[in-house]
């Protein structure tokens, strides 16, 4: 497909069967554990056309070749497995808690060492990359919403000889394409915005480096972390409407960020779309939108924050993000969440409902604070 198409067009048209008479317009899920001998596919753990359709689409969006996985964490585990034994990983202080937990587990068995950095502090990250084998970046970070300087950090990681990996789950390939800024590997929890309907767990990797692609594919087949054909089909079906969903969810998030900022009980709103947010200038430079996730704090009232989350009618009190339905949670309700995340911080994963309904419900839940 022509590379000058807008990503909102690519999500609709990439990964389709060839247009020949009688061809279906969609790749159907292929339910087969093996293939007739004589071709290059061999066996169900090595490849499936349902994955390939999704991988082609994600590859085109990010500017590389895609690989889908059983979950975002399966993709993370395959990438982290590239680090040599005893190697060093530089990772964000704040990031998806499952990624940080995996790195801690591997550090505990001396499989590798981890140095945690504030990804918004470019000089600190650059200093930490000396001697590193992998630089793991998330931007914006979960749930602190810090923004990393992707071009500067990617260049520094490469200078240090480290593989630069970006978890692009929050931004989606529509808002940010890290490979363009020099990252080696992009990773997604496709469970979130890509699939978009809270009905699939799935992961993805994209890289433009054939050696890295081969190394990660080898791990997928040997670790067995493959997606199901139905999940891949659902994710691609969801991805077709990503541009529309994101447009609405993002404008809802911007509206809610402004409303929350004016609310007397809210002490801080974290959203890179707010002009005075510490990550605003950087996000404006490297993202084509500010996304649909934001966090806010309630002046130290952790119990109040928990009550707010339990008092909504429309907002779903649940973990996860990127679905059509809005969700909220107090992140520190999870014991594995990083202790430097304020315990009164509520993360909003904004969906596509009407903004007035979302605000009315949130405002009514905030009244439980008084
Ligand atoms: C959810 C998530 C993951 C993990 O993905 P799963 O699909 O749940 O395994 C990784 N990174 C981020 C930023 C996430 O939100």
Rounded CA-CA distance 231/147 in Å is 31
Q: Is the pLDDT of residue 126 over 80?
A: yes
Q: Which of 88, 96, 270, 282 is catalytic?
A: 96
88-108 tens-digit pLDDT? 999 999 999 999 999 999 999
**Helix 355-366 / helix 242-262 crossing angle, nearest 10 deg:** 40
Rounded CA-CA distance 328/315 in Å is 7
What confidence tier does 370 reach under pLDDT thresholds 50, 70, 90?
confident
Is 45 catalytic? The answer is yes
Lowest mean per-residue pLDDT among 56-60, 174-178, 274-278, 366-370 = 366-370
How big is the CA angle at 161 (ends 118 and 165), to the nearest 5 degrees? 50
- The pLDDT assigned to 238 comes to 98
Rounded CA-CA distance 181/230 in Å is 33
CA of 334 to the centre of ligand 1 (A): 15
Cα atoms in the 13 Å half-sphere on the side-chain side of 294:
30
CA of 368 to the centre of ligand 1 (A): 31
192 pocket-lining for ligand 1 (C-beta < 6 Å): yes
73 pocket-lining for ligand 1 (C-beta < 6 Å): yes
On average, the pLDDT of the chain sits at 97
**CATH architecture, domain 7-239:** 3-Layer(aba) Sandwich (3.40)
Q: Whose CA is nearest to atom 8 of ligand 1?
A: 72
> How many other C-beta atoms are found inside a 10 Å radius of the C-beta of residue 44?
15
Percent of the chain past pLDDT 90, that is, above it, reads 98
Rounded CA-CA distance 289/14 in Å is 22
Q: Where are the domains of the chain?
A: 7-239, 242-369
Q: Whose CA is nearest to atom 2 of ligand 1?
A: 189
Domains 7-239 and 242-369 share a fold: no
Is 96 catalytic? The answer is yes
Please, what's the largest Cα pairwise distance for the chain? 71
Rounded CA-CA distance 241/220 in Å is 28
- The reply to whether CATH 3.90.1150.10 applies to domain 242-369 is yes
Contact present, 209 and 217 (Cβ < 8 Å): no
CA of 63 to the centre of ligand 1 (A): 21
Alpha-carbon torsion angle 13, 15, 20, 25, nearest 10:
-70
Task: Among 73, 231, 337, say which to mutate for ligand 1: greatest number of ligand atoms within 8 Å of CB.
Answer: 73
75 is written with which tokens? 């993709």
Rounded CA-CA distance 347/240 in Å is 26
What confidence tier does 3 reach under pLDDT thresholds 50, 70, 90?
low
Total residues belonging to the chain: 370
Contact present, 54 and 30 (Cβ < 8 Å): no
How big is the CA angle at 279 (ends 207 and 239), to the nearest 5 degrees? 40
Alpha-carbon torsion angle 50, 55, 58, 61, nearest 10:
-120
């Amino acid at each position: 497909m022509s590379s000058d198409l807008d990503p909102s067009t690519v999500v609709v048209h990439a990964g389709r069967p060839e247009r020949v008479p009688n061809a279906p317009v969609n790749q159907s899920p292929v339910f087969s554990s093996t293939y007739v001998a004589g071709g290059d596919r061999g066996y169900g753990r090595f490849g499936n056309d349902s994955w390939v359709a999704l991988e082609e689409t994600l590859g085109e969006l990010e500017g590389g070749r895609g690989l889908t996985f059983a979950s975002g964490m399966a993709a993370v585990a395959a990438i982290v497995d590239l680090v040599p034994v005893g190697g060093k990983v530089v990772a964000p202080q704040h990031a998806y808690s499952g990624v940080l937990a995996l790195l801690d587990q591997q550090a505990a068995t001396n499989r590798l060492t981890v140095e945690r950095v504030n990804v918004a502090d470019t000089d600190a990250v650059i200093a930490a990359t000396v001697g590193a084998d992998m630089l793991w970046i998330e931007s914006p970070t979960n749930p602190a919403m810090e923004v990393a300087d992707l071009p500067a950090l990617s260049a520094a990681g490469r200078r240090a000889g480290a593989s630069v990996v970006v978890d692009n789950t929050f931004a989606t390939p529509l808002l940010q394409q890290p490979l363009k800024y020099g990252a080696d590997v992009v990773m997604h929890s496709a469970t979130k915005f890509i699939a978009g309907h809270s009905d699939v767990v799935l992961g993805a990797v994209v890289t433009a480096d054939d050696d890295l692609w081969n190394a990660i594919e080898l791990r997928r087949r040997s670790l067995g972390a493959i997606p199901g054909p139905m999940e891949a089909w659902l994710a691609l079906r969801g991805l077709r409407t990503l541009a529309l969903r994101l447009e609405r969810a993002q404008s809802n998030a911007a509206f809610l960020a402004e409303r929350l900022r004016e609310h007397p009980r809210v002490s801080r709103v974290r959203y890179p779309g707010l002009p005075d947010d510490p990550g605003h200038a950087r996000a404006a430079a490297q993202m084509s939108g500010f996304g649909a996730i934001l966090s806010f704090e309630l002046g130290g009232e952790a119990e109040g924050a928990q009550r707010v989350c339990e008092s909504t009618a429309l907002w779903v009190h649940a973990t996860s993000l990127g679905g059509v339905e809005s969700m909220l949670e107090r992140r520190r309700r999870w014991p594995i969440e990083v202790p430097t995340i304020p315990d009164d911080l509520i993360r909003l994963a904004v969906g596509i409902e009407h903004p007035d309904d979302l605000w009315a419900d949130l405002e009514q839940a905030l009244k439980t604070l008084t």
